[in-house]
Structure 1
Amino acid sequence: MKEQKLLVSNLTVEKASNLLEKTDQEFVKLFEYGSLEVEYYKPDRFDKQQPHDRDEIYVVISGTGFFVNDDQRHVFEAGQVLFVPAGVVHRFEDFTEDFATWVFFYGPVGGEKT
C-alpha cells in the first residue's frame, strides 16, 4: 500500500491522528521535502525510541511529562520546542495519556556541524 502523505499546508493534529490510527505504529511520517521530514508521534505509555542519525526538533502538541536529552532531564509541556542533536540518547518519560508531538528531522546523517 502506498504511504499517504499530507501537503504541508494541510498538516493538522486531527488529520495526523487519523492517519496514525490506521497504522500499528506510534508515529506517522506526514511530509518530506529535501532533508526535512515531518512526523506525528504519540507513544503508548513508554517511549521506546533509539537515537536518530539526524538532528531533530520536537514541538509538543499536548501533554506533560519529563524529557531526557543526553544527561539532562526536565519537565515538558504543550507548546514547548525541544532540540536533539543526531546520535544523542533521548526519550519522553512519565508523560500524560494525551501526550503527542510533531517531530521534524532535518540535515545530513550525523547532524549539522556546530
Structure 2
Amino acid sequence: MKLDTKIIDFIIDIMEFCERDPYLSKELIKERERFFTTTPELYYKTFEEINSVEQRFADYYIFTCVSQYYETSPLEVFLSKNLFKYNKKDQNILLGFRNDIFDIFNIVKVVVG
C-alpha cells in the first residue's frame, strides 16, 4: 500500500474513533458546524470539492482542536488509546502525525532515516 493511501486510511481511523468516543463525538459535531457553512451545497458543487473540504476539516480537527474533556488534541487521545493495535511500522507513521503530517498533501518522497 502506498504511504499516502495509508496516511489517508489512518486519518479515517482517527476520525472514526472520534465519532465513536462519547466526548470527542460531541465536540466533533460542534466543530464541524463551526467549520462548515450551513449551506455547503452552495459552495461545494462537486464530489472533489466536498472531499477536499472534508479532508481539510479532518486535518483541522485532528491536529488543531483541543478537547475540552481530554485537554489534548484528538490525535493524542487516539494515540494513547489505540497505538498498541498497530504494528511497529504503522506505529512509527502514526507517531509522525505528531509532527503535523496532513493527509490533504500528497507525499512525493519518503526518506528513511
Higher relative contact order (CA 8 A, sep 6+): 2
Structure having the larger proportion of residues in strand = 1
Greater CA radius of gyration, 1 or 2? 2
TM-score, normalised via structure 1 length: 0.24
